[in-house]
Amino acid sequence: MVALSDPACSQAVLVGVHAYSVLEDLPAVANNLRGLREILAEPTVWGLAEESCTVIEQPSRTDQVLDVVREKGRLAEDTLLVYYAGHGLTDLHTDELYLALTNSDPEREYTSLRYEYLRRAVLDLGVRARRTVVILDCCYSGRALLGRMSASAHIADQAVVEGTCLLTASAETRPALSPPGETYTAFTGELIAALRDGIAEGPDPVDMDTLYRHVHRRLAARSRPLPQQRSRNTGGLIAIARNRCAPGPGGGEDLDAAARRREAAERLAEMEEREERLRRESEELRRAAEAQFRQQLETAQRLARAIAASPDVTYAPHWFAVPAPRLLYAEDGSLEPRSELAPGTWYLAVGRRGDAMTVVGSDGTRGLLLDTSGIQKEPNEEQPTQTEFLQQMSGLPGSSGEPGVGAVETGRERALRNLQSAMRAAGLVTGPESTGHQARSGHGSEPFWFAVPVPRPLRSEDGSGQIIAELAPGTWYLAVARHGDAILVQTQDQRRGLLLDTMGIQRG
């Protein structure tokens, strides 16, 4: 059995920001600080003295937090507890986690507290605390588990200090939750409830591993963002609370019950590890799909600009070569490439539309080259005219090869449709960036049954846009998640895909 951290030799620093000058206010955070301070001071829970529990409310500067953490870490001889509640922000360039202060601006990361600095404060050589518990209740708090690197590099163990337990309210890509009308945020509310009410069949005192599993189960049962935990060495065995559900003196826990509890805990840990692995794989697929959608959107935008632009009548045809393989797109606005230009071959540029070039290949294939960066012009002074070249290629004297007005108008319309589809598709995997706790209302992303009024295509999740099925009227389908204006659908034969057009659907 683990020992309770000595409250006389321990320190707690509770940090919270509930009112912001730029970000959305989080009134529940103020309640978090009061509730957590009260429960930690309860003699039947931990019994932390008032002077040993420091509350930092509404900090506006990083030193107001870091200096106190270092000072309390030097005073603590047993356990140092550091808690933060508020908005979590991410650096657009490094994916690092930042903890928002009162004047934080998402576009100016230097106005927030970089989590790496908080971690260094805990690591300070002057800190005497033998054990440390860090609890983060903010959006994207799971990034603290990844340390100082991008979210794709899984070096979580390097982010955790020896003898330390790090508990976060959500995964690195998920927002936390502040439910409207509730006293506390979702994560801290379950944390306080576990400390206040105790954990049935749990050990006494309650270690961090047991506390994490209990809170995880409670949040999962309510379909709320799931917490994460990392610990180094005995960090998971740190105990900061007595178990109010434990038997009275002399009751004890029989060996069979203890064995059953350990076995259940091991099974749960395996399930959580499997869930975490699946979540990371899903995130990698989402990132790949996002990159593909963004590329498709960029191509659609460039193609639309090129077709909308008027031809440059002063453009002089010339030969050129590409430095790397480049795609050639049709002038009718289609996103399907006509051919690929290869390095080491000379092609003829016969016109310009905006930033794109109208190109004719050696086989007479004509199209738009959207990426003209780094092309090499043929150094010869004598360049064939467009008409001369086309006559050689097609054998049709007098043909200029220019598309007619009707073809241009049709191409513009098709390019506009492609651009709109690409913008919608890109929105499915990216969505609006969230900078704080998200309040759910109505159905939100909760699963629901629905039917379509007319046949609707179901497209692949991998970013290809491929149609994998057709939803038919008169059949109920399950919407398992929402992605922007679209929904992720599961059919009766277990196929999953994206429904882009949700107009007029009937909820079951």
pLDDT in tens, 122-176: 888 888 999 999 999 987 655 555 443 223 333 234 344 557 888 888 754 455 5
Helices (H) and strands (E) counted in the chain, each on its own, are: 8, 25
Answer yes or no: are the C-beta atoms of 169 and 421 closer than 8 Å.
Answer: no
Q: Which residues contact 89 (CB under 8 A, 6 or more apart)?
A: 97, 98, 99, 100, 104, 106, 109, 112, 139, 140, 435
Is the pLDDT at 45 greater than 90? The verdict is yes
- The whole model's pTM is what? 0.53
Q: Please state which of the ranges 152-156, 280-284, 299-303 shows the lowest mean pLDDT.
A: 152-156
| Average confidence (pLDDT) over 375-393 | 58
Is the pLDDT at 98 greater than 60? The verdict is yes
Query: For the stretch 457-474, what's the b/e string if a residue is b when 16 or more beta carbons lie within 10 angstroms of its beta carbon?
Result: bbbbbebebeebbebeee
Which tokens is 411 given? 């191409």
Which tokens is 28 given? 């529940």
pLDDT digits (tens, 9 = 90+) for 176-217: 567 778 899 989 999 999 999 999 888 889 999 999 999 989
Going from the N-terminus, what domains does the chain have, and what CATH number goes with each? Answer: 7-253 (3.40.50.1460), 318-406 (2.30.30.40), 448-507 (2.30.30.40)
Which tokens is 103 given? 């004047």
pLDDT tier, 265 (very low <50, low <70, confident <90, very high otherwise): low
Q: Please state which of the ranges 48-57, 62-71, 157-166, 444-453 shows the lowest mean pLDDT.
A: 157-166
The phi and psi torsions of 316 (rounded to 5 degrees) equal -100, 125
pLDDT tier, 404 (very low <50, low <70, confident <90, very high otherwise): very low
Return mean pLDDT, the chain.
Answer: 79
Cα angle: 185, vertex 270, 231; to 5 degrees: 60
| Average confidence (pLDDT) over 382-393 | 48
Q: Please state which of the ranges 39-48, 75-84, 211-220 shows the lowest mean pLDDT.
A: 211-220
pLDDT tier, 415 (very low <50, low <70, confident <90, very high otherwise): low
Q: Please state which of the ranges 192-201, 229-238, 495-504 shows the lowest mean pLDDT.
A: 229-238
What is the separation of C-alpha 362 from the centre of its chain, rounded to a whole number of angstroms? 46
Alpha-carbon span 493 to 471, nearest angstrom: 12
Alpha-carbon span 363 to 53, nearest angstrom: 79
User: What pLDDT score was predicted for residue 296?
Assistant: 84
Is the pLDDT at 429 greater than 50? The verdict is no
User: What pLDDT score was predicted for residue 140?
Assistant: 64
Alpha-carbon span 366 to 434, nearest angstrom: 44
| Average confidence (pLDDT) over 316-336 | 89
User: Strand (E) positions, 308-375?
Assistant: 318-321, 326-329, 337-341, 347-353, 356-360, 366-369
Is the pLDDT at 492 greater than 50? The verdict is yes
pLDDT tier, 251 (very low <50, low <70, confident <90, very high otherwise): very low
Is the pLDDT at 312 greater than 50? The verdict is yes
Answer yes or no: are the C-beta atoms of 472 and 478 closer than 8 Å.
Answer: no
